[in-house]
Structure 1
Amino acid sequence: MQFDMTVREKEILKLHEEEKLSFRAIGEKYGISSGRASQIFRDADRKRREAYRLEQQKEANKEEIPLSLTRGELIMLEEILQEYTRLCTAGVRHTLAELTRVKEDPRYREAERLAGYFDRLTGENG
């Protein structure tokens, strides 16, 4: 999902929040109904809140947590990650563009990175 706001959305947010213009006044300025101005505002506000939530989640995901795993659990996690990477490429026709798309997916890259990490921890090569 894309959270980039258009210039118009940013302007409507600013007009309503900072300049305290009503949706009716905003609608008149843009030649749209007050209902449409309100709808654009709500959509832009939702995008802004979701982008903020994702940024907070990214920061939280950087926190290290204490985790105690058995060797068997570690191997099981490695197998899950290997299956995930296999499933990512299973439907790909192996054109350069499709393979590039899959390999550029951050989840795929992270799964491959973690699988390599597990290999080093368990001393196995899958």
Structure 2
Amino acid sequence: MTAGRPQASLERAFADTRPQPPRPNARKTDKAALLLTLRGEAIDRGLPIRSIADRHGVGQRTVLQALESPVPRPGKQYPSRRSRLEPFHDTIDEILRQEAGTPRRSRRTVRSILWTSLSTGTA
């Protein structure tokens, strides 16, 4: 006995202390297969929605979605957004061209150029 615990329980607790590699997010990549599995368990085996959700680690809404259609719904399409720096592209490009010949460490960053141009009102 170590630390008041039997050795067998300590061996189980510390059996694999190496860090595990991150698991790939299989739900996003293969949602169609998951929906097909959920649908099969609900229809063929007649399992309740709640038990299917618990078994597969998904929500009950996902199981209901699988029962509605075996094909996943398309994701929401967001409109493309403009860059915040877009109004300042010409000014930034001009400053970067001027500093092209200087050593790398003495060049300014785009952020410092932006803040300088905002503070002086040139942009």
Same fold flag (TM > 0.5): no
Whose RCO is larger (CA < 8 A, sep 6+)?
A: 1
How high is the TM-score relative to the length of structure 1? 0.31
Larger Rg computed on CA atoms: 2
Q: Which has the higher helix share?
A: 1
